[in-house]
Structure formats: structure tokens, C-alpha cells
Structure 1
Amino acid sequence: MNTRLHTKVTADWHRWIGEALAAGNPPAELLATMKENRFDERVAREAIADAMFGSVSPVAPSPTMTAATFRSRLAAGHTLHAGDRDIRVLVRVSRPTIAVLDGVLDTDECFMLRELAKSRLERSQVVNPGTGIGVVQDIRTSEGANFGRGETELIARIDARAAAIMGLDEEHGEGLQAMRYGVGAEYVPHFDFFPPDDPGSEPHLRHGGQRVSTLIMYLDDVEAGGETVFPRIDFSYVPRRGQALYFEYTAPDGSLDPLSLHGGAPVLSGEKWILTKWMRERSFAG
């Protein structure tokens, strides 16, 4: 019996993926079918993501940006000074810019943030590429809770700490968003930036400009599954309470980097709680 997994997606399978998505079939169903046909899960997820989001950089590179001049907004060194505390850098990846950070939140803050979010949880939405309006889709099966910038003392403290870590003024930040993933919940690989060619991106780009970086803070350990994955560089982070994952979307040539494609793997046991901060290139009033 042949137990080897397929590690390449043929043209026929790529065509099937495109037709199935166009017909409205949920990505999770496509993934299940491909796994039944003995495709490696990582390969299948990337193929589905390519069909949904494209496999090339969505904007032309900047003529003035080079690898020699590119600088991350994240400070250098093993320790980041974040106002009210110092943060340890555990891991750095050069492309896309990624860092695993330790001690971003303490245990009490994680507990209070989860409790604050529980009464607000609603099914998470994604941005419709045609209209820019948030819609519920099967590619994202978490529940979410949104917070206004600085709405409580706790939120204000986290907003300020995140801004210090991310190297931008607080006014560039969107409001914090908490998310809960139960067993089976996931977020199919996607980009956090607004694709410039999508009509639905226009109102978001007009109001604060492009997103430039993400900070995902983890409010609890996960019993099994729930990793944050970057499929195009084969990088996977296992959630740990109080830690955070920082990443940017710009390649050294100034283009939006297709390697920043990322997702949340399905939770296999327990729950996954995260708190996300997105930063814009300009002041954001929302």
C-alpha cells in the first residue's frame, strides 16, 4: 500500500481548486478533499491560498528601496524597551520580517483580556474584496471582540506597549481585536495588508493608508493545534501565554511581500485566545 503524500499540485488540481472556489465551495471542504486524496496538508493549503490570494507580489517594487537600505520597524537587539517593560526577542526571521517575543503580557493581563472579551464575542469577519465590508466566511471560523483605542486603563496600557514594540505612534494603530478559536476553528492562510487591486481595499487605504505590521499576542497556551503558520517559508509558531508574534509585510525591494502569507492552523484540543494589533502607514482615527 502506497502511503506517500503528494508534494506537488498538478495543473488539473489547480484548475479544480479554482473552479471549486468560484462555485462557492468553502476552502475547508477543498482542503478535506485534497487530504483524502493524499496531498500533504501544507502543500494543499498553499495551493488553495494561491488560488484565493494570488502567488505574486501585488504591487510593483519601489525603485528607491534595496536590500541594503531596507530597515525593519522592529528595533535591533535581544531586548526591546516597550515603555512599562522590557521584552525579550526569542527568534528573528529576516524575510518576511518576523520576531517571536517573550513577556509581552503577564498572566493577570491575559486573564483580564479574556474576561473582557467574552461578553463581546461575535463570529469573526473578513473584508469582502469587492465591497470592503466585513462579511462572515468559512475561511475564518473564530469569534472576535473589538476594543476602541484606549477605552479602558488596561486597553490603553496594551495599546501603548504594542505601539512601542511596533515602532510607530499609537495613532497609527487600529483598535485591539481579541479572538477565540474553539476546537476545529482556523483561519485559512491570508494576507493582513489590503490588496491594492481589490475595489474593496480603496476605502481602507483612504482612511489611514496601508497596513504595515501585525502583533499577535497570545492569551493562553493551546493544548493541541492552533499554530500560527507561514506556509511559504515553512515556519510555524506554537502559541504560548504572554508571548507575541510580530511581522511586517514589506520585502526588501519595497513591494508587498507574498511571503507574509500566514494563517491559523485548526485547534485540535482546548481553546486558542489571541489579541491582535494592526498598524497603518498613517494616523488612523478608527
Structure 2
Amino acid sequence: MASLLSDRKETMRDIFGATILKLSKEDERVYVVDGDLANSTKIDGVALQNPEKFLQMGIAEQNMLSVCSGLAATGLQPWAVTFAAFLSKRAIDQIQVQIAQPNLDVKMIGAYSGLLTGLTGKTHQSLEDIAIFRSLANMTVLAPADSVEVKKMIEFAHQYNGPVYIRLARDPYPIIFDDDYEFQVGKAVSLKEGSDLTIISTGTQTSRAIKAAESLQAEGLSIAVLHMPTIKPLDKEAIVKAAEKTGVIVTAEEHSIYGGLGSAVAEVLVEEKPVPMLRVGVNDRNSESAPNQELLEKYGISENHIAETVKRALKKARQ
């Protein structure tokens, strides 16, 4: 059986950089606001090719989001770009009071999200950003699985009037979607059908969930994969349908098990369709700096851990 994952890999940040440069040239409202990380986040193309649309705020994230609030209040559309760890934790007061509460049209890009930020250091890792942003009223929270979905999400956010948070990964990921893929906010995407259990995944964990499901199929297990690109608003209907069809759920995310996708799915199931469920994510512990594969294994979020969790969930369901 051919894999759902392409052999070709692309980085989310490269596609984001190219897409936002294009938008900044086409739409006079679009401004890119940088937190002194343009080279890392790949928005340096805007600084070089469309400098009048590039605003450098330096290492001052709180001020950066306040400036974005002011820009949006005048009818412009600012795109605040920095690392997810800095955006979600250093500037959360400004985001809540000056952007989310007044429901302003500010787009926030959390680059270098999750556990795998290379060797940049543990202070740059972000395992809490989904939990933080989905708790804010008026906030839309998105996590793409590949570079194709990144482009589609950016195009959606550009047309949408309101605050949006998009988390991006640093490293290249396999292509999952064709160029004609249509992203729909608040809608899950069925990537693989199955009858024994459904893995509900988001962001970077979706490619690992696919690998786990395909390896389990070789062992005779029929595992569905449901990609959740929108964490808020959540596709509750798709979650309930998955629970009704397979009767067992495993969630997978490159995020803390607290407050993220796993918590959101559990909230739906406990109210609508209680079924056996387990979560794959980083447990209640602080992360550390190390090579990516070692981090995946140590913190229990690799495709092998997803597969093992699926087996545990099936065993739990039979008891």
C-alpha cells in the first residue's frame, strides 16, 4: 500500500515567508511585524523586497503586540511573527486585553512551535501555546500539517476578520495535501479510514500519526486518522462521528497533554459520546534541548509511541 505521505518535504516557514511576501505586495492593509527573528521565521524576504511593509520591533514582544493592536484599530492588517514560546507567554496580556477582547484583525504566527526547535534551547520550546490561545474568547487557533496547508491557512486568515493564531514548525515535513486541497476553518480532515480506532491528530503530529497507522495496518489493525487543523473552533461533529464509528480514540499532538488538542477532544467526548480514550503528548514535565529524534523518543511523542498508545487504548477498550 502506498503511503499517504509524500517523499517530498518542505518547511512551513519557507512557504509562509513566500506567501506573506506576496500578500504584502498585493494588499495595502498587510504589514509584517517582526520580533527580531526575520531570518529564522523567513519573513526577511519582506524586509528585503517590500521594506515599507516590514516593521522591526526588536526583542520586545509585548510592545510588538501593542503596536499590532494600534495598526489593526486603524484598519490595517498586521501579521505579528516571532517564536511561539515568546508570542504565547511574553505577550499574553497584550494579546488578551488589546487584541482578543476588542476582537481586532491581528494575525499571530508562532514559529518554532512545539518540542522540536532543533538545538535552539529549551527556553525556545513551546508546549503550552495551544492551551493558552484556545482559552481566549474570539481567538481562532490553527495548526497545519504540511506546507500546502500553511499556504491555505494564510490565505484564509487574510480574508477572515478577527484574531488568528497559527503555529508553525521549524523543520521540513512530508507533503500530505495536493495543491487543490481546500482548507475549511473548523473542519476536520479524514486522511485514512479505519474501523478499530481513530487517531485524532493536529499539526506536526499528523504525519507521525499516519506513519503509526500505516505500520499498525501491517499488523492487521484498521486505524483511522482524523487531522484536526482547527483546534478552535473545534469540529465536534467529526469527533463524535469518529467515536461512534470506531469506539476508541487516541489524540496526538506536539504539545502538553494539558489544555491542547487532547483536552479539547476529551471535553467533547465526555459531554457527547464517552468512549475509551488516551492522549499522546508531552506529560507534565519541562522539556530540554537535544537532537529532535531523541526528544521525540524521550518525551513519548514519536510514531512508535503513538502506535504503542493505540495498542494500549484497544486493550483498555476490551477490558
Higher relative contact order (CA 8 A, sep 6+): 1
Q: What TM-score, normalized by structure 1, do the two folds share?
A: 0.25
User: Which structure: greater helix fraction?
Assistant: 2
